[in-house]
Amino acid sequence: MVALANKPLFDGPEWNFDLIGRTYEAIEEIGVGEMGLNLYKNQIEVITAEQMLDAYSSIGMPQMYRHWSFGKRFARDEMMYRKGARSLAFEIVINSDPCINYIMEENSMTMQCLVMAHAAMGHNHFFKNNYLFKQWTQADAILEYLAFAKRFVAECEERFGLGPVEAVLDAAHALMNQGVSRTAGARRRFDPKREREREQARRDYEIEIYNELWRTLPNAPPKEEEERTEESRAEQRALLLPEENLLYFLEKNAPKLEGWKRELIRIVRVLAQYFYPQRQTKVMNEGCATFCHYEIMQRLYEKGQVTEGSMLEFAHMHAAVVYQPGFNERHYSGINPYALGYAMMRDIKRICLEPSDEDMHWFPDIAGNQDPLGTLREAWANYRDESFVLQFLSPKVMRDFRLFHIKNDAESPTMRVEAIHDEQGYRNVRRMLARQYDVSTQDPDIQVTDADLAGSRRLVLTHFVRDGILLDKEECDRTLMHVARLWGYRVRLVEQDAGTGRKIREHETLPLP
């Protein structure tokens, strides 16, 4: 091969901008040219460790509005970092167009190379092509929206004081996980540019029509239960209840929120929605990036563009990234998404190229199709963690990970091993693992089910309890306080069994005066 005669791009740990530029080109040649990745334009930004800590505390975004919780996160991260308990990430990549990659100045050249292959190729491709990101996020608008959010929050702080702004943001943050719309609908498509204008208009209108007098009207006496039901049913229809997106509901319907407070809620909601795809695709996103960096590094080595020394350094890092401790080992903290994603994608490649009989049986449509990258690109584009695991987790990976499924019933004195990595257990293990990655079943299912706008103005939330798992009482009460603060009146949360509809527990709270 002629390629073997290539001179290595770099030798030794030192890096400079020119070297990074040339290395990036070599990486892109492989990523785009050979692997067929489809990328946003990359922007690589070199930052220091301190700036990396800064970026951490603002959820990795280049700019963020100010809030004490970010300061808290920063204080904790800084502490961990200084103690040496935790090292920093080598990179942060932002789902934006152009795709911003932060790399740290402390990294060696091999690390920079690895990081570019990982983030600028893998994550970038995933952001641009995965259906969830396409559907829910607008990469070209997010930076602009963040700038708007930051400015808006700062303006509010100036006009209304730190305290009131903080109170609204606290409350909205508490509901962030309930602030996403899970079912796609055209009406909820995140388009900050258009929505912002609409928002502004609505805000102005509300400010115009707001009349202090309405607040002084005495409350009507509560109506009889029967009489109300008919009316409330009509009301429910008008409010489009039930509504799973609590932040959306509060933003649109909370009776006495000022316009700027609605806008603040909206900012938090938009961010929650923006990050929601990332929560659903941890395994795939990291798997894709890890798979890409591995393939690219191998190819660079084959072409003689990186030295053996670099490959050893790379192999060491890579092994650490995809390490999966067993459940009873000290370092165990759940299934490592890098490890699982990478293993599954390597396995898809193997199934496409050298399928075993078992694979022919399990994956008849892709086994031996000799197009691993096409198959992977297809998977990256059209799946999320839950469906990806359900579709592609092969018996071999289950055996390699030695996955097993246990059931823990609070009523029973012991836990039961339901299935292990054997012929009888594969399907069960795979189904349960997929469920474990389904964010919508991991988050409690809480919906707005009733809101009495005419009478007592009580808001009713319902937690549809699955498998008898109730909410953490203390956390729930605190969070309800936040809901009440936004709603402005009494809030009740009913926990009822999703199957039988039986009421299990009730929480109720009033807003503090």
Partner 1 sequence: MNIVDRRLNPKSKSLGNRQRFVRRAKADIREAVKDALKKRKVTEVEGSEKISIRSKSVREPSFNHGRDGGVRDYVLPGNQDYKAGDQIPKPQGGGGGGRGGKASADGSGEDDFVFTLSKDEFLDLFFEDLKLPNLVKNRLKDLKNPLPQRAGFTSDGPPAKLARIRTLRRSLARRIALKRPKTEEVTALEEEIARHESEVPRNEALIAELKARLEKLQRMRKTIAYVDPIDLQYNRTERVPRPTTQAVMFCMMDASASMTENLKDLAKRFFMLLHVFLSRHYKEVHVVFIRHTSTAAEVDEDTFFRGVETGGTVISTALEEMDRIVKERYSPADWNIYAAQASDGDNIPDDMGHCIDLVENALLPASQYFAYIEVSEHSGPGETIVWHGYSEIARRHKHFAMRQVTNPGEIFPVFHDLFSSPAGA
Considering only residues 159-198, where is the footprint of partner 1 by CB under 8 A?
Answer: 162, 166, 170, 173-178
Q: Which of 9, 114, 476, 484 binds partner 1 (CB under 8 A)?
A: 476
Phi first, then psi: give them for residue 330, nearest 5 degrees.
-65, -35
507 binds partner 1 (CB under 8 A): no
Binding mask 44-83 for partner 1 (x = CB under 8 A): xxxxx-xx-xx--xx-------xxxxxxx-xxx-xx--x-
By beta-carbon proximity to partner 1, the closer residue of 231 and 472 is 472
107 binds partner 1 (CB under 8 A): no
Q: Evaluate whether 461 touches 491 at the Cβ level (below 8 Å).
A: yes
353 binds partner 1 (CB under 8 A): no
Please give the Cα distance from 56 to 48 (Å, whole number).
Answer: 12
259 binds partner 1 (CB under 8 A): no
Binding mask 300-339 for partner 1 (x = CB under 8 A): ------------------------xxxxxx--xxxx----
Please give the Cα distance from 139 to 94 (Å, whole number).
Answer: 9
By beta-carbon proximity to partner 1, the closer residue of 169 and 352 is 169
CB of 330 to partner 1, least distance (A): 12
Q: Evaluate whether 179 touches 268 at the Cβ level (below 8 Å).
A: yes
- What token pair was written down for 95? 């789902």
Q: Vertex 398, ends 395 and 401: CA angle to 5°?
A: 150
Instruction: Specify the stretch interacting with partner 1 by CB under 8 A; choose among 191-199, 269-277, 345-353, 472-480.
Output: 472-480
Task: Please give the residues from 410 up to 429 whose contact with partner 1 meets the rule CB under 8 A.
Answer: 410, 413-422, 424-425, 429
Distance of CA 264 to the CA centre of its chain: 21
Q: Which of 219, 472, 498, 506 binds partner 1 (CB under 8 A)?
A: 472
Count of residues interacting with partner 1 (CB under 8 A): 101
133 binds partner 1 (CB under 8 A): no
CB atoms near residue 15 (< 10 Å) = 20
- What token pair was written down for 326? 């067993």
Q: Evaluate whether 495 touches 463 at the Cβ level (below 8 Å).
A: yes
468 binds partner 1 (CB under 8 A): yes
By beta-carbon proximity to partner 1, the closer residue of 218 and 501 is 501
218 binds partner 1 (CB under 8 A): no
Count, residues in the chain: 513
Q: Which of 432, 448, 451, 494 binds partner 1 (CB under 8 A)?
A: 432
CB atoms near residue 318 (< 10 Å) = 19
Instruction: Specify the stretch interacting with partner 1 by CB under 8 A; choose among 17-25, 128-136, 254-262, 276-284.
Output: 17-25
- What token pair was written down for 496? 């009822």
Phi first, then psi: give them for residue 146, nearest 5 degrees.
-65, -40
CB atoms near residue 253 (< 10 Å) = 19
